[in-house]
Amino acid sequence: MSTTKISSNPLERIALSCSGGGYRAASYHLGAMAYLNRLHYQGKPLLENVKMISTVSGGTITGIVYALGKAHKEEFETIYQFLVGQLKHLDLVKAGISQLNPDAVWANPAKRKNLINAFASQYDTHLTRGATLADLDLGSTHLEAAVFNTTEFTNAGDFRFRNKAAGYCGNFYLKVDAATAAEAKLGDVMAASSCFPGGFEPILWPHDFVHDQAPRLKELAEKNAPTGLMDGGIYDNQGISSILNYRKKDPTPYFDLIIVSDVASPYMDPYQPAPEAAKTGFYKWTLKDLVAKSASVSNRVSYVLLGIVLLGLLIPAFTQFKPSFVNGLSVGFAAAALILWIGKLLAVKRLRSALNWVIDRLTGKIPGFYRNKLSHLHVEDLSLHRMEPLLLDRLTSLVNLLMNVFLKVVRRLNYNILYHNPAFDYRRIGNLIKQLTEQDFLNSRTRLKQDGGPDPNVARHSVLNGTYEEVIGPALKKVTEEAAGFGTTLWFTDQDVVSDMLDKLLITGQATMCYNLVEYLEQLIYTTNNGFAALPEAQQQAIQQTYEQAKADWATFKATPGFMLQMNLKRE
């Protein structure tokens, strides 16, 4: 049992991190923020106690739109309606790819014409409306800091863009002063944060950030070599490190509560090797067989073409080459066949030359020691049914390593920093997209039992005790299971729109945040000897009132999952 006491000001200073995950993340985090805006503490929305947001990739879409809206003094409902409309109707992939067509307008010649810059242009047009980091003046808002995380490829570190009051941009190795960073367009920042490997090439800092109104960035680009920026999730897909580094010199944690909103799955499918194909038909061919058959086909084509040439010349010869339609046609066919034969010879020669060049380039990259070892493998004698698993197993394991293993290792490391440090007891909430699914619910209950179970006083008062059907219920189960299974994309398909996937992600974000706040508030109020009883009575009452509202909302979510959409957040 933890001996850490609760903060003397629970719920006063909140940090919110929003993970990556494409439109799934953007929608889920927006739903989570919508519930924070609904739940009140001491007479105002709990969202207004969020002092810092730290976002990654898809979470940065929501984070930038929200922070920019607050800087423009917009109400939450206005920001919500705008972003929902864009998420529902903007197919970023279609719009971005279309912009790469030769006849498409490329407004900024300073940018390389590639996919990530095409996306940056779409973000700039549709989501940030030309705004720069200078427009992110949060002085009159509830936010102290807004941090948008990317990963830089020169020093392998987190490269942070943030509002001026939060400090310099970049990192320890590449510090960017506030005046220079202020010129960066928020659309470019959004693109850098969501530039996931495989789907995009890196966006170059500062060269791809230069525009007509950015003299400092232009000068910086002229004096420095570029560095590649990509998805912040490569370094920290939850944005936790930026929060932990904020005011880290303070003797006690600066934030009373850190909420980690995360759509990444903690689970992985087991590795499956490629099945070995049957050694029949084409699969039994070796490289030597393929070369032999190709040579045989090439020779046959040559024989046919030379036969046509010979026949085309023999026919006129029998008539002493007298001018006639038949003789002219024969000579024409002979000439055409001769041209094709010469063309084939040249093409085969060029193909062999190109193939040798590729082989030389590839083998030239292999160190001599390994090249000598590999020479003992007679590749030309391997059949395709043997070669296929050799290649596919390496490819699939590499993709799995990059897209799953590495990300989950990084995720675990950052979570461990937050969850294994007793200083953050009663100061953290994990708001995870799979929490309300049956699998995750049962797993969490198993882990809780293994850890000794909840505080008996909390268990006695909790409204979250019971079976999965009792606690979550069938209505929420249907919505959250579908939302948790949605893939990482930057668009909603027509079928997704028909099935209201956006609504399901929003509802899941709202309901999961409500569930976690109910659980957190029960721990604050009912855990034995945690310091709650020492709080001023007015503060205890305010926390109790917030808890009562969250309990009532949870009951409503179980009965009518979409009630928030129906009541106060109407859309077209």
Closest Cα to residue 259, out of 19, 532, 564, 544?
Answer: 19
Please compute the mean of the pLDDT values over residues 287-296 and round it to a whole number: 74
DSSP notation for 173-210: SSEE-HHHHTTSBHHHHHHHHT--BTTBPPEEETGGG-
What's residue 45's pLDDT?
A: 97
The pLDDT of residue 378 is 63
pLDDT, tens only, 182-228: 999 999 999 999 998 878 999 999 999 999 999 999 999 999 999 99
Confidence of residue 249 (pLDDT cuts 50, 70, 90): confident
What's the pLDDT at 225? 95
For CA atoms 245, 246, 250, 255, give the dihedral sign. Answer: negative
**Does 505 score more than 50 pLDDT?**
yes
The pLDDT score that the predictor gives to residue 221 is: 96
231 in catalytic set: yes
Q: How much is the pLDDT for 414?
A: 74
Q: What is the mean pLDDT of residues 146-164?
A: 94
Highest mean pLDDT among 155-159, 354-358, 397-401: 155-159
Question: For the segment 78-116, what is each residue's pLDDT rounded down to a tens digit?
Answer: 999 999 999 988 888 888 889 899 888 898 989 999 999
Residues 25 and 233: their CA atoms lie apart, in Å, by 12
Q: Are 61 and 190 in contact (CB under 8 A)?
A: yes
| pLDDT score recorded for residue 371 | 58
Burial class (CB in 10 A: 0-12, 13-18, 19+), 242: buried
Evaluate if residue 504 carries a pLDDT over 90: yes
Arithmetic mean of pLDDT, 397-410: 66
Structure tokens at 530: 């945690």
pLDDT at residue number 160: 97
The token duo for 228 is: 């590649």
* Residue 568 in this model has a pLDDT that exceeds 60: no
> For residue 181, what pLDDT is reported?
96
Burial classification of residue 359, based on how many CB atoms lie within 10 Å of its CB (0-12 exposed, 13-18 middle, 19 or more buried): exposed
Query: What would the mean pLDDT of 120-140 be, rounded to a whole number?
Result: 96
If you average pLDDT over residues 329-333, what whole number do you get?
A: 82
Average of per-residue pLDDT values in the chain: 87
Percentage above 90 pLDDT, the chain: 56
pLDDT band at 571 (very low <50, low <70, confident <90, very high): very low
The residues spanned by each domain of the chain are 14-268+399-567, 286-382
Structural class in CATH, domain 14-268+399-567: alpha beta
Residue 265: what pLDDT?
67
Q: Residue 572: which pLDDT band, with cuts at 50, 70 and 90? A: very low
Residue 533, CB-side half-sphere exposure with 13 Å CA sphere: 5
pLDDT confidence bin for 318, thresholds 50/70/90 = confident
Q: Which of 188, 208, 231, 496 is catalytic?
A: 231
Q: What is the mean pLDDT of residues 446-466?
A: 88
pLDDT at 570 over 70: no
pLDDT of residue 402: 62
User: What is d(CA 302, CA 344) in angstroms, rounded to the nearest whole number?
Assistant: 8
What is the average per-residue pLDDT within 455-461? 90
Q: If pLDDT is split at 50, 70 and 90, which confidence band does 374 have?
A: low
Residue scoring higher pLDDT (253 or 400): 253
- Give the pLDDT score at 384: 63
10 Å CB burial of residue 248 (0-12, 13-18, 19+) is exposed
Q: Which of 148-162, 218-232, 391-405, 424-438 has the lowest mean pLDDT?
A: 391-405
Residue 170, beta-bridge partner list: 160, 175
The residue annotated as part of the active site, out of 27, 57, 242, 330, is 57
Residue 440 predicted with pLDDT over 70? yes
pLDDT value at position 191? 96
| pLDDT tens, residue by residue, 131-150 | 999 999 999 999 999 999 99
What's the maximum distance between 2 C-alpha atoms anywhere in the chain?
A: 121
Q: What average pLDDT does this structure show over 511-524?
A: 97
At 446, the pLDDT band (50, 70, 90 cuts) reads confident
List pLDDT tens digits, range 340-368: 888 888 888 888 787 677 666 656 666 66
* Structure token digits, residue 299: 């020779």
For 52-80, what is the mean pLDDT?
Answer: 97
Section 471-481 average pLDDT: 96
pLDDT of residue 491: 67
Backbone phi, psi, residue 17, to 5°: -110, 140
The total number of residues written for the chain in this structure: 572
